Amino acid sequence: MDNKILTQVKFDENGLVPVIVQSAGNREVLMLAYMNAEALTKTLETGKMHYYSRSRKKLWMKGEDSGNYQEVKDMYIDCDNDALLFVVEQKGGACHTGHYSCFFSKLNDKKDEFLVTGRKVFDPDEVYKK
């Protein structure tokens, strides 16, 4: 991969950059995650989304356990070069809870609670059973 891309991205003090992921089909925002240089390199090399897990402190490919892969269609960088937007073809659901998007709860009209408005597309207990 051309290192020029890596030098253009402004990674934070932890070596990470926030990544917004959007569906190519309906433009719905699917998730927010983080990448380090290795995750970005693997994503560009394979065409499948790779991320850095801050909680597990390791690289992971979306769909490696669930089969719910994300295939890259387009990539954008913001005006400050410190955030990325990927447009992907989502296989199955993006959220580990089984929902299509991680943003499946919406603030109600009273503005006093969040209501689940998104759709579940798989059963996480079945998918992640070990």
What would the pLDDT profile of 59-77 be if each residue is shown by its tens digit?
999 999 999 999 999 999 9
CA distances from 113 to 3, 28, 35, 103, 110 (A): 45, 22, 31, 14, 8
- Is residue 30 within 8 A of residue 94, CB to CB? The reply is yes
Task: Please state, rounded to an integer, the average pLDDT across all residues of the chain.
Answer: 95
**Domains of the chain and any CATH numbers:** 3-121 (3.10.20.810)
Helical spans, DSSP H, in 9-75: 37-46
**Through-space distance between the first and last CA atoms of the chain, rounded to whole angstroms:** 35
Q: What are the structure tokens assigned to 115, written together? A: 């209501």
Report the C-alpha gap between 3 and 8 in whole angstroms: 9
What would the pLDDT profile of 23-50 be if each residue is shown by its tens digit?
999 999 999 999 999 999 999 999 999 9
Q: Flag whether pLDDT at 86 surpasses 60.
A: yes
Global confidence as pTM: 0.93
Report the C-alpha gap between 118 and 107 in whole angstroms: 12
**Per-residue pLDDT band at 2 (split at 50, 70, 90):** low
